[in-house]
Structure 1
């Protein structure tokens, strides 16, 4: 076992504090990663505060991990010491169900994927995430970070990047398609960049026009305020795809009205509260209300290569570990442009 420094949530809703955790010995197919940077995802806050239900404590959050391999097991073939790598939202799955075999490990039906934190591994031990100095992960759940991406801006791609890339690809965002991104935050800003790079016509739908200049710089063609009722009149029936990145309850009927016939409203943000829906909102014009969760390992690698090829990572604010609790409050107040990233050397 290896003892490493980390930041943990000792109990539900408690502030994070510095501590130490034990990492398992490097097994035959494992890699030991010296974590350089870890992104702060809104999911970390939901789970640390039990917004999505009962969780396991102490909790070390973090599933946007970028670092360097420092040790490999004797059976490892994919990575070598010195490689630049990343770890996202999962560190294992059953590997035998149809979804795992087709590269959709995130939808594992053989017991579910093993989360990078707030989960139990196959030995029944709790997993601890990336707010730490090092992590041990099976090579099959590690991805390579291309040389064209610096590790700090690459870290958020391991969740925010793949969470938006996967549905944009699945619902065929590209030339000739009108795509709306609902929310201009950690997920939304990546959705704008990726949809633009895929060739779609991109519109941002945000509560206000406060971030309009940023949205246009990142690749949006249009920017509208959802607080203005005229937006829903002007844009009725406009979009092939709306990607909702917000984690607050919405008037889904209003946003479904913005879709064309056969359009889809896809949710990647997960509100803590149940939603209500008049089914005529989807029955009329054969619309789809759907969801999507991260992506498989192969698709995550594809996303990283795509971002590197197009020359972009996330827009980040780099912080020291002692600023994590403040960063959580700022995320809740939408006061970040657009992803906090922890310099783990400060842990």
Structure 2
């Protein structure tokens, strides 16, 4: 075992504090990664606060990890010492079910994907995430960060980037398609960048016009305030695809009415409360409400290469580890543009 410094929540809703954790020895097919940057995702806050159910404590959050390989196991063939790599929302899966074999490890129906933190590994030990100095993962669950991406702006792509890239690709965002992104935050700003780069006509639907200039600069063609009832009148029947990134419950019936015939409203935000919807707008337009969870390893690599090819990463604010608790408060207050990234050298 290797002892490393980390920031952990000792109990539900407790402030994070500096501590030490143990990482497993480097196995035959493992890589040891010196973590350089770790993004702060709203999911981290949900789980620290037990908003999604009972959690495992102490908890070291963080599933947006960018770093450098410092040791490899004897059987490793994909990476060598010095390679720039990333780790996202999961670190293993059954590897045998139809979804794992299809590169959809996030939907593993065998033993299930093993999440990067707040989960039990195959040896029964809790997993610990990226708010730490180092992590050990199987080579098959790391991805290569292209040279065209700096590690700090690449870190949030391991969750925020792939969370938007996967549904945008799956539902065919591209030339001739009208795509709306609901919410311009850590997830939403990546949705705007990616949908624009895919060639879609992009609209931001945000509660207010406060971030309109940002949205247009990121690649949006249009920007509307959802607090204005006229928005829902003017845009009725407009969109092929709407991706909701917000983690609060919305009036989904209102958003469904913005879809064209056969349009889809895809939710990637994860509200803690159930939502209700009127089925008649679905029936009368052959519309659908769907969800999407991150992406598999191959698609995550594809997303990183896509972002590098188009010359963008996340919009970030780099912070010291001592600022994590303040950053959590600022995320809840929507006071970040658009992703906090921890410089793990400060742990």
TM score, norm. by length of structure 2: 1.00
Corresponding position: 1:294 with 2:302: no
Shift, 1:342, TM fit: 0.1
- For 1:149 and 1:277, the matched residues in 2 are separated by 41
Shift, 1:282, TM fit: 1.1
Question: Who is 1:312 aligned against?
Answer: 312
Question: Who is 1:236 aligned against?
Answer: 236
Question: Who is 1:103 aligned against?
Answer: 103
- For 2:263 and 2:32, the matched residues in 1 are separated by 44
- For 1:235 and 1:276, the matched residues in 2 are separated by 22
Question: Who is 1:266 aligned against?
Answer: 266
For residues 301-335 of structure 1, the C-alpha deviation after alignment (integer angstroms, 9 at most, x for no partner) is: 00000000000000000000000000001000111
For residues 115-144 of structure 1, the C-alpha deviation after alignment (integer angstroms, 9 at most, x for no partner) is: 000000111110000000000000000000
Question: Who is 1:174 aligned against?
Answer: 174
Corresponding position: 1:203 with 2:196: no
CA RMSD of the aligned region, Å? 0.3
Question: Who is 1:119 aligned against?
Answer: 119
- For 1:108 and 1:265, the matched residues in 2 are separated by 24
For residues 188-243 of structure 1, the C-alpha deviation after alignment (integer angstroms, 9 at most, x for no partner) is: 00000000000000000000000000000000000000000000000000000000
Question: Who is 1:342 aligned against?
Answer: 342
1:210-249 to structure 2, matched below 5 A, reads: 210-249=210-249
- For 1:298 and 1:326, the matched residues in 2 are separated by 35
Question: Who is 1:27 aligned against?
Answer: 27
Aligned residue for 1:302, secondary structure, equals helix
How many correspondences in the alignment? Answer: 347
- For 1:326 and 1:165, the matched residues in 2 are separated by 29
1:50-65 to structure 2, matched below 5 A, reads: 50-65=50-65
- For 1:84 and 1:216, the matched residues in 2 are separated by 32
For residues 140-166 of structure 1, the C-alpha deviation after alignment (integer angstroms, 9 at most, x for no partner) is: 000000000000000000000000000
- For 1:282 and 1:317, the matched residues in 2 are separated by 40
- For 2:334 and 2:172, the matched residues in 1 are separated by 29
Aligned residue for 2:136, secondary structure, equals strand
TM score, norm. by length of structure 1: 1.00
Aligned residue for 2:284, secondary structure, equals helix
Shift, 1:279, TM fit: 1.3
Question: Who is 1:82 aligned against?
Answer: 82
Shift, 1:167, TM fit: 0.2
Question: Who is 2:15 aligned against?
Answer: 15
- For 1:106 and 1:282, the matched residues in 2 are separated by 27
1:180-191 to structure 2, matched below 5 A, reads: 180-191=180-191
Shift, 1:281, TM fit: 2.4
- For 1:71 and 1:281, the matched residues in 2 are separated by 55
- For 2:214 and 2:112, the matched residues in 1 are separated by 38
Aligned residue for 2:154, secondary structure, equals helix
Question: Who is 1:94 aligned against?
Answer: 94
- For 1:267 and 1:88, the matched residues in 2 are separated by 19
- For 1:56 and 1:281, the matched residues in 2 are separated by 40
Shift, 1:112, TM fit: 1.0
Shift, 1:74, TM fit: 0.2
Aligned residue for 2:153, secondary structure, equals helix
Aligned residue for 2:33, secondary structure, equals strand
- For 1:284 and 1:250, the matched residues in 2 are separated by 20
Runs of 4+ in 1 over 3 A off after TM superposition: none
Question: Who is 2:132 aligned against?
Answer: 132
Structure 2: stretches of 5+ with no match in the other structure: none
- For 2:281 and 2:70, the matched residues in 1 are separated by 53
